[in-house]
Amino acid sequence: MKNKAIQCPVRDEINKYCSCPKSDCERHGLCCECIVSHKNRTHLPYEKRFPHCLRKLFQEARSAEK
C-alpha cells in the first residue's frame, strides 16, 4: 500500500481536508482506497460502509427522504 500512497499525486493536499479521525490509517488521504475498503465491510451496518467524509452527506440524504 505504501507504493500506492507515493503514486497518489494529490495525497498531501487531500490529507489537509480528510475528516477521518484515524490519521494513522494507511489509507488516510487515499480516497479511492478508503471508499473501496469501507464498501467491502459488509458485516457493518449500511451507514458505516461510508467513510467519515461521506457519512454526513449520507445522513443528510437519508433525513431528506423521510
pLDDT, tens only, 1-59? 455 545 788 888 888 888 888 888 888 888 888 899 999 999 988 888 888 888 888 88
pTM score: 0.67
Coil, helix or strand for 17? coil
Is the backbone of residue 8 left (phi > 0), alpha (psi -120 to 50) or beta?
A: beta
Helices then strands, each counted (H, E), the chain? 4, 0
CB 30 within 8 A of CB 53: no
pLDDT recorded at residue 6: 56
pLDDT recorded at residue 65: 82
Is the backbone of residue 44 left (phi > 0), alpha (psi -120 to 50) or beta?
A: beta
Query: Cell digits for 21?
Result: 479521525
